[in-house]
Structure 1
Amino acid sequence: MACSAADKENKEPPIWFKNKKALSNVLYSMRRHSLSSTTQERVPLSVFSKPTTKLQADFTTLTTSLVSDRTSLLSDGILLKILSKIPESQRTANFLVSKRWLNLQGRLVRSLKLLDWDFLLSGRLLLRFPNLVRVDLVGGCLVSPRNNSGISVSHKTVSFRVGSGNKDWVFNEDSVLSADEVDRGLRVLADGFPSLRKLAVINAGETGLLIVAEECPTLQELELRMCNDRVLRGIAACKNLQILRLSGTVNGLYVSLVSDIGLSIVAKGCKRLVKLELSGCKGSYEGIRAIGQCCVMLEELTLCNHEMEDGWLLALSYFENLKSLRFLSCTRIDGGFRADEHLGFCPAVECLFLEKCRIRDKTSLRALFLVCRNVKQLVLKNCWGLTDDMFTTASVLRTIRMLSLEGCSLLTSQGLETVIISWNELKSLKVKSCNNIKDDEVVSDVFSSLKNLKWEPDRKTLVSINLDGTGMGKRGDKFFNKARDWKSLSGS
């Protein structure tokens, strides 16, 4: 029997029923409306347990997923904003929720220390953490020995694994990737992260650093270890670099030469430097002067275990905007000075910091104080050789407002008092763990004009004062007295 045109029209499904994408949108909208209703009742899943058609099966799958994961109703942008409000210390377990949360959690990570070099070369680093801006490649560049003993050795900022053999305990060229291999990783990193702002790497080559400088124009902080003069030519294109840390020679680990040539390359190529740290670098007056003349924005200079030639201190007068000068683990400061009139001085320096330094030469220490005669803060921490005679050279500093002494065991109360009496502008004083400075040997008038005082010169004295009246420290004496009386009664 033939069907009329009206019957055919009624049996034909709607156009959105033929389009699976349109059907999904309809079902999604229906589900959202039902979830937002105040009188919502969950649809029993048993209704969809036996789908008769493929359309019903799709509807069942969609409904089931929406019921089990309410966060699927949120877009990635909204969910990212929610996850970003969680403190970083509590974000670690977020990636365990689902694959979607795993990907979103990776997009929130901005800083990373790489330990597996293949993770970078394979491209998984970019897929897993696409928004990195601070990357530390030092751990990934170190090669673990085959017969790994599980023991890790740390030397200041370098930590590496050692093997069970006698030769495996020595850090040599085999303990770090070759420069060509490091450059390969730098190329992959630069291609994937053009917004990189901070990078730390060891044994990099000139080519790799040049690629990073060209592909990452926003790079602001760079740390290079095992670098030399030739490698430094690669960072000449880093026009926006503000913080630079160079590590040449590290005693007991590796030897790499950074001389006046490398310092001059840095001075001409990185003119926007604000902070510069030179560790184990060899140089002289010429290299330091080039940095002072070209890097006019430099505010902080740090010298760690430096191997500078005598006379480099004279070049500090070219640093017109230098505000902070730091010495870390330096076995000497400078030498060869005979007259004070040739020194000059840093006009803007405000803070002078010496930590774990060997102070042997009184003339060089006085020359340092004369160059930094306008300092307002002086920090001396765990400096060997700082005697009363050495400390008297600090009397040339007339504008000191804050003095911090820690671990200066050779300095006495008399030596401290002699110097700080001449400082009329001193407002803050901190003395800690200086065993030869005693409370009863310092005149109270010295502290009358201070606004901030932290006084812990001797730990033992403080402990004994705090225990007065408690009876602690005397119980052992009573015990031994009782034991002695018992022995006398027993006739032993």
Structure 2
Amino acid sequence: MASSEIHNPSSPVTVPNLTNLLSDEILLRILSSSPSSTLVSSSLVSKRLLQLSGHLRHTIVLLDWSSLPLLPSRFPNISNLNLIPASFPPPSLSSHILLSRSKLSIPVPCGAEFGKCFCLDQEAYDEGLKIVADAFPGLRRLSILAVASENAVLNLGEKCPILQELDLHNCSDSSLQNISAFSNLQILRLVATVEGVYSGSGITDIGLTILARGCKRLVKLELGGCEGSYAGVSAIGTCCSMLEELTISHHRMDAGWMAGLSCCENLKTLKFLGCRNIDLDPGSDEHLGSCPIVERLHLQRCQLRDKRSLRALFIICDKVRDILFQDCWGLTDDMFSITSFCRSVRFLSLHRCSRLTTEGLQSVVLSWNELQHLSVISCNKVKDSEVSSAMSNLFSILKELKWRPDSRSFLKASLRGTGMGKKGTKFFKKT
């Protein structure tokens, strides 16, 4: 009789690593087919899986500049790289101050002067951009500060030929001299100044003209904290004939700049973000011109105190179909009535417009025969009890209605007998 083997429960059991039987190509296909939420946990199984999972990461936000040389071996297929958070020296151990402004959060060293940019020096930035240019020729989007030298920018543009989207912070007229190095650039976001973070010489008409001549293939452009006037804006409209979307944020433009928008013949979307004014002196109506194909006009976190400038904006965009007002101070009934002569409006969104009343809203939307979508959110002076029968009839034929002017809204119950929700594609959407 053969003697039976006795297993010692205290001895370790060796489990074979079955992934060793699979090639890197097969493992990459398996990892790429797995949910993104499991990718991190999968990378913890072994060093091999950790290395392979890095091949599937295409977007990186760098937090520490000293880690930049490690990126090529760890994440060789990066196509979207944000270097801005790492562009500032880390604070001392005794400093725990974090400055946040306009979606930008940076650590502040002890004793730093408020409003002074304390970013890395040019030499360190040039070395970092050289690593990026050599390691990631397939880069499509890059976010950097405008502190690199001319040679570093030219080298980056030459070795990353398919770069299509660029975020450039702390830029000035001189930093745009080599913007033409990015020959395939289609989306550009320029941030000249951010209050409390950096406020250098900024961008004027000179920089806007350089930009217009160097980036003629732009489709989307955002100008943040830029100066300039009619000359700079009209240069962009004339040279960048493919421009479809323009965003103006926290601008410092001179009076009369808005007339330059009429040179943007293919502009479809116009956005204003955080602007303290639209145009201090837009000039006479006959000199404003128009943007005949603008479809979307969005104003967010803007101060609307000047009726004349708001009227000029809607004269330029008189064919607009989609209007958004969000967190805009000063949007009273009188100011909102300016939009009534835009007869092609199909989409209207009002979010947190605290001074607009039910009467002011009704007087405008009832004159729009093409309105299909209406959203009224957190507008406390718009009351259910003041909604007229004509407004109720309009609600019943809209394709989409988001109605929540305040926490006490009971409109859905009061419209129970109107047939809303029983007319094919027409429905009421509760938010």
| TM-score strictly above 0.5 | yes
Aligned to 2:417: none
2:244 counterpart (299, 308, 332): 299
The answer to which of 197-206 and 212-221 deviates more is 197-206
Q: Structure 1, unaligned stretches of length 5 or more?
A: 1-43, 45-63, 467-492
Displacement of 1:259: 0.9
Q: How far apart in 2 are the matches of 1:83 and 1:215?
A: 30
Query: How far apart, CA to CA, are the structure 2 residues paired with 1:261 and 1:212?
Result: 24
Residues 206 and 233 in structure 1, CA contact (< 8 A), matched pair in contact too: no
CA distance in 2, matches of 1:326, 1:215: 33
CA contact (8 A) 1:145 1:168 kept: no
Please say which of residues 377-386 and 257-266 is displaced more in the overlay. Answer: 257-266
| 8 Å contact kept, 1:326–1:354 | yes
- Structure 2 residue aligned with 1:272, among 217, 236, 247? 217
Give 2:60's aligned residue: 112
Cα pair 2:259 2:282 within 8 Å, conserved:
no
Aligned to 2:189: 245
> How far did residue 82 of structure 1 move?
0.7
For the 8 Å contact 2:246–2:269, the answer to whether it is kept is yes
1:293 is paired with a residue whose SS is: helix
Opposite residue 130 of structure 1, the aligned amino acid is P
Is contact 2:115-2:199 (8 Å) kept? no
Partner amino acid, structure 2, of 1:200? S
CA contact (8 A) 1:438 1:457 kept: yes
Q: How does 1:300-379 map to 2 (within 5 A)?
A: 300-379=245-324
Does the CA-based 8 Å contact 2:102-2:194 persist in structure 1?
no
Q: Write the mapping of 1:414-429 to structure 2, written as runs, cut at 5 A.
A: 414-429=359-374
Is the partner of 2:330 in helix, strand or coil?
A: coil
Where does structure 1 differ by over 6 angstroms across 4 or more consecutive aligned residues?
Answer: none
Q: Partner of 1:394: helix, strand, or coil?
A: helix
1:202 aligns with 2:145: yes
User: Take 1:452 and 1:250, find their aligned partners in 2: how far apart are those partners?
Assistant: 38
Please identify the structure whose Cα radius of gyration is greater.
Answer: 1
**Who is 1:218 aligned against?**
162
The alpha carbon displacement at 1:301 in A equals 0.4
Q: Deviations over 1:312-331 (max 9, x none)?
A: 11111111111100000000
Is residue 148–residue 161 contact of structure 1 (8 Å, CA) maintained in 2? no
Amino acid at match of 1:227: C
Equivalent residue runs for 1:4-15 within 5 Å: none
Distance 2:113 2:49 in 1: 42
Q: Match for residue 232 of structure 1?
A: 176
- What does residue 230 of structure 2 align with? 285
| Pairwise CA distance, 1:414 | 1.2
2:203 is paired with a residue whose SS is coil
Root mean square deviation, CA, Å: 2.1
Q: Does 1:80 align with 2:28?
A: yes
CA distance, structure 2, for counterparts of residue 245 and residue 218 of structure 1: 17
Alpha carbons of 1:452 and 1:383: their partners in 2 closer, same or farther (altered >3 Å)?
A: same
- Choose between structure 1 and 2 for higher RCO, CA contacts under 8 A separated by at least 6 residues: 2
State the 1:101 CA deviation.
1.3
d(CA) in 2 for partners of 1:148, 1:160: 16
How far 1:289 sits from its partner (Å)? 0.8
Change in 2 beyond 3 A, CA 1:455/1:159: same
Q: Is 2:389 aligned against 1:441?
A: no
**1:24-43 matches, cutoff 5 A:** none
Q: CA offsets per residue over residues 67-122 of structure 1, 9 Å max, x none?
A: 712211211111111111112221112222222212211111111011121222xx
- 1:191 paired with 2:139, answer no
> What displacement does 1:148 show?
3.6
Give the equivalent residue in structure 1 for 2:98. 152
Q: What SS does the corresponding residue of 1:219 show, helix, strand or coil?
A: coil
Preserved CA contact (<8 Å) 2:256 2:283: no
Rounded Cα–Cα distance in structure 2 between residues aligned with 1:86 and 1:152:
36
Return the alpha-carbon distance in structure 2 between the equivalents of residues 356 and 270 of structure 1.
Answer: 29
Give aligned pairs, total.
397
Query: Structure 1's 171 and 148: CA in aligned 2 closer, same or farther, altered over 3 A?
Result: farther
Distance in 1 (CA, whole Å) between partners of 2:181 and 2:112 is 38
* Secondary structure of 2:286 counterpart: coil
Task: Tell me the CA shift for residue 145 of structure 1.
Answer: 2.1
SS at structure 2 position matched to 1:393: helix
Letter of the 1:153 partner, please give it. L
Partner of 2:178, secondary structure, is: helix
Question: Partner letter of residue 153 of structure 2?
Answer: L
| Equivalent position amino acid for 1:150 in 2 | H
Q: Tell me, what secondary structure is at the counterpart of 2:305?
A: coil
Q: Tell me the amino acid that sits aligned with residue 180 of structure 1.
A: E
Query: Would you say the 8 A contact 2:257–2:282 is kept in 1?
Result: no
Matches within 5 A, 1:14-163: 68-120=16-68, 123-163=69-109
Does the aligned pair in 1 maintain the 2:258–2:282 contact within 8 Å?
no
TM normalised by structure 1 equals: 0.77
Three-state SS of the structure 2 residue aligned to 1:159 is: strand
SS class of match (2:369)? coil
Measured against aligned partners, the alpha-carbon deviations of 1:129-181 in whole angstroms (never above 9, x if no partner) come to: 11111110011111122244334332122112235x5x2473523x3112332
Q: Which amino acid is 1:86 matched to? A: S
Once residues 458 and 126 of structure 1 are traced to their aligned partners in structure 2, the CA distance between those partners, rounded to angstroms, is 52
Equivalent position SS for 2:349? strand
Structure that is richer in helix per residue: 1
1:84 counterpart SS class:
helix
Q: What is the percentage of aligned positions where both structures have the same residue?
A: 48
**Cα deviation, residue 125, structure 1:** 1.3
Q: Deviations over 1:313-352 (max 9, x none)?
A: 1111111111100000000001324531221110110000
For residue 374 of structure 1, report the CA deviation from its aligned partner. Answer: 0.5
Q: Distance in 1 between matches of 2:342 and 2:106?
A: 43
Q: Which amino acid aligns with 1:127?
A: S
Shift of 1:197: 0.6
